[in-house]
Each structure stands twice: as structure tokens, then as C-alpha cells.
């Protein structure tokens, strides 16, 4: 058995080939340079002794058929979290037995990642099915079993659950930052008999009804052959006519008015393609590059003289290749349905040599990877991939939704358990017939309005419900700068946008059974469905009314709202004036101040499309709420730092889904400042009084761009 240290607090323990797992072989895990063990992990006669942050964890190892098992004695009060969307029963997993196997509807996104509040976590570096018995058979014992494959794990050490997630996502990959429009609203359009003209009228209705929306998604009806998983898929020749003499997104096609109305097009896909041929080819190229050798070619010796049973796959053509023509027509997003990626293929020989038991769980990751990288290489831009299937590593390539399981309360645990594994861009189908589900669906990391085949457009649901949707779509739009900033934080730290209270307040078990509330980013507490709410310590301000709450409450939902939204006293963060879509115009930012304690916020901006942010092309504006006391506080808005260039007009607007221009960093604009709660008696800047108004329970004034562009600005607020 080999023990290697990857980084501080990250250890790789394995037998045999360390790259035998498909997660490592195909570059899904970010392994880096491994060094000698520093003594934190020790070999024993029975297994592995791990000196965790809050005590030792002794894993007893044994061979188990073709696989292996690990047993760990649990401390009496030890709490366990993680495993992704493998269960929707519990957040704190003690007493539960969980199978890690992707299964349609039952388990869309399991992950073999387990965290303990005792300062350790484990990742199984395997794609084979596994099981975690978290004290179900024996309440004092954790038993991890892997069906097949060599022993290969990672152990992580940190002082907190947040720290463990940071370590885990160092290996499994940080969550992607979606294209900025992806954090607006995505609408899943009606499936039955939809045509291009009806699609355009639906978009026009959204605009006319002031319902902010960025993405319009088409379901299988867009294809000539429904559920076409081949490379030959085409637009439906009657319902979505595309002239043969104008196949791209010019002004003779329906793609043009979609673009003019500011809609990003999303296409539903199903995939039964053998992705392993391409993946093995890429792995061979990487290995050849390491050896400075020639490319290795994969030969299917087994079938070289026989008939190919797979009638869909072209071994020499990557899956993404046939999608380029749709990208040229304007597709900026793809919804990867559960069909067929989450189904078992027990008679399949993937890549001519791999059995389904090794490929099944990782297939969804390879699909997301090939889609993301294919689009990046073709367009130099980010793709919004929405997938049902999730496993270790998916978060670095794609967003996900909770599959075909609706948008009610049972999906909340799915998103919470994903967050515990570092998967950030999660959502479910927003169910517009349930007021509480509207509140919930609009206040998720990204939002997908469910209107597949049920005629649930807002204007068909009555004035009251339409008004509710209008309000929440505007609220969602206003929160985009805040959510986008939290997406950057997830990329930097692995800390998801949606956070269980047990993660944010991990020193208590008080919230281990709280499934009706979560934090949306650093500042916002969201209560959903059940309004018997448990607030963390401190004073919390109602975002809707300004009322102050503490402790355990029975929340009375205000008229025209459908759930709870609170801000902790002593918070500062940025929103914006609502827009019809994210790219409609430059944002009019609002700095929201809730006095009571010191706080900071760093507004994040980039071009919203490219990966240039990975090379430092972004801007930040730091905001500090300081020196808080009963008499007042100081508010400092720092000069914007950084820059990004965007992309110039490439001379045409139809190839590679390129808008004529991806905007670079513009000039600093005026920012509105709102101070909530106690009314200030005086606001001063540079010793001079600042004029302000009192509107809707907030003190409101403007920070001039002329001043902010050249220096840090500090306001002295007195009560």
C-alpha cells in the first residue's frame, strides 16, 4: 500500500496502479504532484490510522470479493455528511445505509464522498458501485464497501466542514462559474406541438408581462425524430423550419428574433453514445505527450473482423462534433436528460473493452466533460450544461437539476447533500402551481421554470399567481450580482451557493434535521414550504417587510410573497435594479446595508462568457461595513480593482455562437446605497453632509461614479 501527500491535509492511499480508476485516468480528479507522507497517515496491521484534525480515525481494511471494505469505529456524538444525491431522507447521515449507484429517479447524483465533524473526510477513487453504512447495522460503526477494483482512496484533514470541502474540491474540481445568463431564469418550454412561431410568441409574452427570463429551453419536440441520440439529429422540418440556403442564425431564421429579444437558446439532448472511444483517445494523447511519443491509436481487436453492435457511435467522431451546427445557430445551453445516461447498459462493452459496472457511474461526468470542453474549444466560451446525472467531478463542468422529481419539498435535501460534496450549481424544476414552490424555485443557485407539457405559463395561471411570478422573477433578476459573486466564491473555495445550516453553523447539531431553510450565499436565509423556522443566533431582518426576528418562529408570510427571506443584522451586499434579462444593459448596482455589526462584501465582475477569469481577467469592488455601534458606523466602498477585455466584434454574428461583441470592463457607474433599519440622523463624506431620502423603510442616496472611479469612498453614518 502506498501513501502519498498531495497537499497539506490531502492524502492519496492506494494499492497497485494509482491511475487505474477512470476518475484519475480521464483527468477528472485533480491529482497534481504527490510527495512522501508526512506521518499524518500511518499503516497498521489492520489498516490505516489517520490523525484527523479532531482525533484519530482508524480504518480497518479487508479484501471483500473483487473489491474491499473499510470499517471505522464512530465516536458517540460523531456526525456524518455528504454522499451527494444518494438519499433524500437525511442530511446528517448517522444511522443510514446508502448505496452509491446512479439510478433513474431513485438516485440521480450519488457521490462516494463522506465528511465527519471530527475533522476528516474520505473520497473513494472508484467508479464501481459502493455502499456506506453510517451506523445502520451497528450504530457505533461506519462500514464502507466497494464492489470491485483496487484499493484507492483520498483522505482529507481540516478543522471544519467548510475546510474539508475546500480540500475535497481541490481534488474533485471546483464548481464551474456558469455563463452569467445562467444565473437568470431558464424557462423549459411547452413540449407538445410547439413550433417556431409559438416559441417566439412565448418569448414576447415574457417580455410584455415583465417576467425576467434569460434562457428558453426546447424539449425533444425540436428534433425531427424525438429522443434522437444519433449524430444525425435535425430540426423538425415543419415545426422548426430552417432554410437550407440559410442554415445558420441569420435574419431569415427564427434564431434571429430570439437573439434580438435577448434569449439564449437551450436544446434538450439525450445521449447513448459510446464516449469511451474519445476519452481513451484523449488519455492516450496525454500519455504520449508525457512520454514525448506519438499518439496511440485504439484498435477494437475484439470486433475488428466482426459486426459492430453499437449502431450509434462513430469511434472517430467525438460526441460534441455534431452539435457545432446547433451552436452556430445560437444554442448556448444544452439540457442533458436522464435518458439514457442514468440507465444501466448491462450488455454494453464500452470502448470495446469496458464493462458497464465500471462505466455506469462515471458516464455522466464524461458526458459533461466532453460537452464543456468541446464547446470551450469551439467557441472559447462557457456552456450552460444542465444534467440530471451527477457523480464525483460533475460540478467542475455542469449545472444539474434534481431530475424528473418535481419541485416540492423533497428536493431540498438533494441540493443540500450536493452542497456537502462541493457541487454548487444545483436546482430543481420550479413548480408554478404551488406558491411555496415558486418562492423556493426562484431562490436557488440557478432557476429552471417547469413548463414542459402542462401549459403552466404564468399568463394561464390567474392574475394572483402571475403577479407572484412577476415579483419573484424581478427579485431573482435583482439578486444576480449577489449570486454571481457567490458563484465566484464557490469556484475559489468549493463552498456552494446553497448551504445547509448545518454547514454554516456546524458547531451545533441544532440544524441537522432542518430541511425547510438554507443559506443562499453568505447573507440570505431562505425559508421554504414549512414556515416553522429556526433562526441562527442573532437578529434577522425580514427582506420583505423590515421586521426583526430572533430564535424559533412561526413565520406569517406577507401578502404577495410565498416564503421567508431574511438578512442577518450586520450585513452588506450588492444587488441591482431588475432587468428583462442579464445582458439587457449595464447593471444599476444597489449596495444594501443592514447595520448592527461589521461585515464585508466583494462584488465580483467578469465578461460573463469566457474563461479569461481563470487568468485573472475580472474586477472586484470591496465594500466594508466598519466601526459599528449604537451611534453609527462607517461604510467604505473601495475603488474597483482589476480589468477584463471581453471579445471584439469578429465580423459576423452567426459562427461559433458568437454575439457581435462580448463586452469588456466598462466605466464605473453610479451606485445606489440603501441603509435599512434605524434611520440615520446624518451622513457625511469628506466632512460634508450627504443628502438622502427615506423610501420604503430605507435611507437612500447615490455614490457618484465620478468620485468612485478615482478613489475609495468612506461615509460616516450617525444615528
Q: CATH number, domain at 7? A: 2.60.40.1760
Euclidean distance between CA atoms 613 and 105, whole angstroms: 36
Residue 325 lies in a domain: yes
Three-point CA angle 302, 303, 309, nearest 5°: 125
User: Could you tell me where the beta strands, DSSP code E, fall in 383-522?
Assistant: 384-387, 399-401, 426-427, 429-430, 447-450, 498-500, 517-520
CB contact at 8 A, 52 and 382: no
Decide: 566 and 525 in contact? Cβ < 8 Å. yes
| One domain for residues 202 and 298 | yes
For 72, the enclosing helix (H) or strand (E) is strand 67-73
Choosing from 121, 144, 172, the residue where a domain stops is: 172
Does 317 lie in the same domain as 269? yes
pLDDT in tens, 218-254: 999 999 999 999 999 999 999 999 988 877 777 889 9
The CA distance from 16 to 4, in Å, is 13
pLDDT of residue 307: 65
Which cell goes with 602? 466583494
Question: Is residue 155 located within the same domain as residue 299?
Answer: no
Classify burial at 584, counting beta carbons within 10 Å of its beta carbon; exposed 0-12, middle 13-18, buried 19 or more. Answer: middle
426 in a structural domain: no
Residue with cell 474519445: 278
Alpha carbons 538 and 599: distance in angstroms, whole number: 14
Unique residue bearing C-alpha cell 500511518: 42
Residue 576 lies in a domain: no
* Residues 185 and 120 reside in one and the same domain: no
Q: Which region among 56-65, 95-104, 650-659 has the lowest average model confidence (pLDDT)?
A: 650-659
Number of compact structural domains in the chain:
3
Residues 221, 192: contact at Cβ < 8 Å? yes
Residue for cell digits 399568463?
459
pLDDT per residue over 662-681, tens digit each?
899 999 999 999 999 999 99
496 lies in a domain? no
pLDDT at 295 over 80: no
Q: Choose the final residue of a domain: 172, 192, 215.
A: 172
Please report the pLDDT score of residue 252 as a whole number. Answer: 86
C-alpha cell of 495? 463552498
Q: State the average pLDDT over residues 356-384.
A: 96
| Any domain includes 458 | no
Q: Residue 452 — pLDDT band, cuts 50, 70, 90?
A: confident
SS3 annotation, 258-325: HHHCCCEEEEEECCCCCCHHHHHHHHHHHHHHHHCCCCCCCCCHHHCCCCCCCCCCCCCCCHHHHHHH
Mean pLDDT (whole number) for 316-339: 94
Query: So what's the pLDDT on residue 244?
Result: 84
Q: Final residue of a domain: which of 401, 422, 454?
A: 401
What pLDDT was estimated at residue 655?
56
Give the closest residue to 343 by CA, choosing from 400, 311, 388. Answer: 388
Residue 435 counted as domain residue: no
Lowest mean pLDDT among 67-71, 255-259, 710-714: 255-259
pLDDT at 251: 81
In a domain, 489, yes or no: no
Q: Where are the beta strands (DSSP E) in 517-605?
A: 517-520, 524-527, 532-534, 540-542, 548-549, 552-554, 564-568, 571-576, 589-594, 599-605
Beta strands across the sheet bearing 55-64: 41-43, 47-52, 55-64, 67-73, 141-146, 130-134, 97-100
pLDDT band at residue 460 using 50, 70 and 90 as cut-offs: very high
**Nearest one of 216, 218, 222, 221 to 261, comparing CA atoms:** 216
Instruction: For residues 154 and 276, state if they share a domain.
Output: no
- Residue pLDDT, tens place only, 473-508: 999 999 999 999 999 999 999 999 999 999 999 999
Does 33 have pLDDT greater than 90? no
In this structure, the answer to whether residues 162 and 192 fall within a common structural domain is no
Task: Annotate 106-124 with three-state secondary structure.
Answer: CECEEEEEEEECCCEEEEE
- pLDDT tens per residue, range 543-592: 999 999 999 999 999 999 999 999 999 999 999 999 999 999 999 999 99
Residues constituting the chain = 719
pLDDT > 70: percent of the chain? 95
Q: Contact 565/526 with Cβ under 8 angstroms?
A: yes
Query: Which pTM was predicted?
Result: 0.95
Shared domain for 168 and 188, answered yes or no, is no
Residue 381 belongs to domain with CATH number:
3.20.20.80
Q: Print the domain residue range for 212.
A: 180-401
Degrees to nearest 5, angle at CA 140 with 136 and 145? 55
Q: Looking at the structure, do residues 246 and 138 belong to the same domain, yes or no?
A: no
- Any idea of the CA torsion for 527, 212, 426, 410, to the nearest 10 degrees? 50
Residue 710: CB atoms within 10 Å: 10
Q: How many CA atoms lie within 13 A of 273 on its CB side?
A: 31
Stretch 454-463: mean pLDDT: 92
* Residue 515 pLDDT greater than 90, yes or no: yes
Measured CA to CA, the distance from residue 113 to residue 129 in angstroms comes to 13
Name the H helices within 547-676. Answer: none
* Rounded Cα distance, 27 and 247, in Å: 36
pLDDT exceeds 60 at position 653: no
Residue 376, C-beta contacts closer than 8 angstroms, at least 6 positions apart? 382, 383, 611
Number of H helices, E strands in the chain: 14, 45
- 332 in the same domain as 210: yes
**Integer angstrom CA distances of residue 365 from 22, 26, 40, 465, 525:** 10, 10, 31, 38, 31
pLDDT of residue 297: 46
pLDDT at residue 294 tops 50? no
CATH code at 692?
Answer: 2.60.40.1180
Residue 643 DSSP label: -
Q: How confident is the model at residue 509 (pLDDT cuts 50, 70, 90)?
A: very high
Q: What percent of the chain has pLDDT over 90?
A: 87
The answer to whether residue 296 scores a pLDDT higher than 50 is: no
Looking at residue 243, the DSSP 8-state letter turns out to be -
pLDDT of residue 285: 63
Residue 488 lies in a domain: no
Integer Cα distance of 502 and 508 in angstroms: 7
Based on the domain organization, do 166 and 234 belong to the same domain? no
- Cα angle value 630/634/638 (rounded, 5°): 160
Task: Specify whether 236 is located in the same domain as 157.
Answer: no
- Report the alpha-carbon angle 34-38-44, nearest 5: 105
Residue 226 C-alpha cell reads as 424525438
In contact, 461 and 454? CB cutoff 8 Å: no
Better-scored residue on pLDDT, 559 or 454: 559
Let me know: does 396 contact 23? Beta carbons within 8 Å: no
CA distance 311 to 243: 29
- Domain identity same for 185 and 315: yes
Phi, psi (deg, nearest 5) at residue 528: -130, 145
Amino acid at each position: 500500500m502506498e501513501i502519498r501527500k498531495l497537499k497539506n491535509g490531502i492524502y492519496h492511499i492506494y494499492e497497485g496502479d494509482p491511475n487505474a480508476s477512470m476518475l484519475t485516468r480521464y483527468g477528472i480528479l485533480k491529482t497534481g504532484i504527490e510527495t512522501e507522507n508526512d506521518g499524518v497517515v500511518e499503516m497498521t496491521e489492520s489498516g490505516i490510522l489517520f490523525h484527523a484534525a479532531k482525533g484519530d480515525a482508524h480504518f480497518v481494511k479487508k479484501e471483500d470479493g473483487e473489491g474491499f471494505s473499510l470499517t471505522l469505529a464512530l465516536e458517540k456524538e460523531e456526525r456524518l455528511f455528504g454522499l451527494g444525491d444518494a438519499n433524500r431522507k437525511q442530511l446528517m447521515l448517522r444511522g443510514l445505509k446508502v448505496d452509491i449507484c446512479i439510478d433513474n429517479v431513485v438516485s440521480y447524483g450519488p457521490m462516494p464522498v463522506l465528511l465527519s465533524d471530527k475533522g476528516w473526510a474520505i473520497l473513494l477513487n472508484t467508479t464501481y458501485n459502493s455502499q456506506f453504512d453510517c451506523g445502520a447495522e451497528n450504530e457505533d460503526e461506519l462500514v464502507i464497501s466497494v464492489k470491485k477494483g483496487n484499493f484507492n482512496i483520498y483522505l482529507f484533514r481540516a478543522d471544519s466542514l467548510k475546510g474539508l470541502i475546500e480540500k475535497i474540491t481541490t481534488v474533485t474540481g471546483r464548481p464551474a462559474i456558469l455563463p452569467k445568463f445562467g444565473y437568470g431564469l431558464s424557462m423549459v418550454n411547452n413540449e407538445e406541438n410547439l413550433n417556431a412561431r409559438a416559441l417566439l410568441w412565448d418569448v414576447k409574452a415574457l417580455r410584455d408581462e415583465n417576467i425576467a427570463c434569460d434562457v428558453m429551453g426546447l424539449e425533444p419536440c425540436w428534433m425531427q425524430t424525438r429522443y434522437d441520440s444519433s449524430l444525425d439529429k435535425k430540426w423538425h422540418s415543419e415545426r422548426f423550419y430552417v432554410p437550407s440556403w440559410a442554415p445558420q442564425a441569420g435574419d431569415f431564421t427564427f434564431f434571429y428574433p430570439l437573439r434580438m429579444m435577448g434569449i439564449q437558446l437551450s436544446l434538450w439532448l439525450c445521449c447513448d453514445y459510446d464516449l469511451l472511444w474519445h476519452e481513451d483517445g484523449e488519455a492516450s494523447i496525454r500519455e504520449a505527450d508525457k512520454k514525448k511519443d506519438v499518439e496511440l491509436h485504439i484498435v477494437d481487436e475484439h470486433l475488428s473482423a466482426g459486426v459492430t453492435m453499437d449502431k450509434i457511435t462513430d469511434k472517430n467522431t467525438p460526441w460534441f462534433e455534431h452539435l457545432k451546427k446547433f451552436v452556430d445557430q445560437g444554442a448556448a445551453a444544452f439540457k442533458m436528460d436522464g435518458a439514457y445516461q442514468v440507465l444501466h447498459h448491462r450488455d454494453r462493452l464500452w470502448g470495446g473493452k469496458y464493462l458497464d459496472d465500471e462505466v455506469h457511474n462515471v458516464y455522466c461526468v464524461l458526458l459533461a466533460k466532453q460537452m464543456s470542453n468541446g464547446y470551450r474549444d469551439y467557441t472559447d466560451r462557457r456552456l450552460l450544461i444542465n444534467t440530471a446525472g451527477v457523480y464525483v467531478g460533475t460540478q467542475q463542468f455542469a449545472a444539474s437539476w434534481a431530475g424528473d422529481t418535481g419541485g416540492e419539498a423533497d428536493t431540498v435535501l438533494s441540493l443540500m447533500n450536493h452542497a456537502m460534496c462541493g457541487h454548487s450549481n444545483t436546482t430543481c424544476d420550479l413548480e408554478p402551481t404551488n406558491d411555496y414552490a415558486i418562492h423556493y424555485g426562484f431562490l436557488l443557485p440557478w432557476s429552471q421554470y417547469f413548463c414542459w407539457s402542462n401549459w403552466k405559463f404564468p399568463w394561464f395561471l390567474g392574475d394572483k399567481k402571475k403577479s407572484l411570478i412577476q415579483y419573484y422573477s424581478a427579485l431573482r433578476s435583482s439578486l444576480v450580482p449577489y449570486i454571481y459573486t457567490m458563484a465566484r466564491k464557490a469556484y475559489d473555495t468549493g463552498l456552494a451557493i446553497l448551504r445547509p445550516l448545518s454547514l454554516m453553523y456546524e458547531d451545533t447539531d441544532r440544524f441537522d434535521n432542518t430541511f425547510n431553510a438554507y443559506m443562499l450565499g453568505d447573507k440570505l436565509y431562505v425559508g421554504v414550504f414549512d414556515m416553522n423556522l429556526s433562526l441562527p443566533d442573532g437578529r434577522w431582518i425580514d427582506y420583505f417587510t423590515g421586521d426583526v426576528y430572533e430564535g424559533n418562529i412561526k413565520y406569517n408570510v406577507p401578502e404577495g410573497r410565498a416564503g421567508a427571506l431574511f438578512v442577518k443584522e450586520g450585513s452588506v451586499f450588492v444587488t441591482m435594479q431588475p432587468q428583462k434579462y442579464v445582458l439587457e444593459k449595464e447593471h444599476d448596482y444597489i449596495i444594501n446595508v443592514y447595520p448592527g455589526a461589521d461585515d464585508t462584501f466583494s462584488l465580483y465582475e467578469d465578461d460573463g462568457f469566457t474563461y479569461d477569469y481563470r487568468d485573472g481577467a475580472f474586477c472586484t469592488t470591496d465594500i466594508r461595513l466598519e466601526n459599528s455601534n449604537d451611534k453609527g458606523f462607517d461604510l467604505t466602498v473601495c475603488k474597483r480593482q482589476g480589468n477584463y477585455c471581453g471579445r471584439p466584434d469578429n465580423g459576423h454574428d452567426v459562427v461559433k455562437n458568437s454575439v457581435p461583441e462580448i463586452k469588456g470592463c466598462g466605466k464605473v457607474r453610479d451606485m445606489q446605497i440603501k441603509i435599512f433599519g434605524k434611520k440615520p440622523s446624518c451622513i457625511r463624506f469628506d466632512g460634508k453632509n450627504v443628502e438622502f431620502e427615506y423610501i420604503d423603510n430605507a435611507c437612500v442616496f447615490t455614490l457618484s461614479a465620478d468620485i468612485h472611479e478615482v478613489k475609495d469612498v468612506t461615509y460616516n453614518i450617525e444615528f
